[in-house]
Amino acid sequence: MEDLLEKALRELSPGTRVFDVLTYLSFKGASLPGQIAEETGIPQGTVRPALRSLLGKGFVTQQEDGAYRSKIAFTDMISDLYTRSERKK
């Protein structure tokens, strides 16, 4: 079975708002759409569709209180980025 992080990196482009929202959730933990918008500067009208997309792809879960949580640990994301940068050297 494909690793969830590998799937995310294949399906999402780094630098896009959807990837930014996923990275935020991986780092900060469970957050409401308004919190994400306020802390990232991404408009709520962009955050909400990004969250729906991430939920549909299985990269996040939604809690009973409406907060979203990443299924991908931030340490996994950083480790992967570091490994990729080392390979390029």
9: domain CATH number is 1.10.10.10
- Yes or no: say if 61 and 71 are a contact pair by the CB < 8 Å rule: yes
What does pTM read for this prediction? 0.87
Place of tokens 């992080």: 5
The angle, 0 to 180 degrees and rounded to 10, between the axes of the packed helices 44-57 and 17-28 is: 80
Could you list the residue range(s) of the whole structural domain that residue 51 is in? 4-88
Is the model's pLDDT at 89 over the cut of 80? no
pLDDT in tens, 14-70: 889 999 999 999 999 999 999 999 999 999 999 999 999 999 999 999 999 999 999
Number of domains the chain contains: 1
pLDDT at 2: 54
**Exposure string over 11-26, b if 16+ CB within 10 A, otherwise e:** ebeeeeebbbbbbbbb
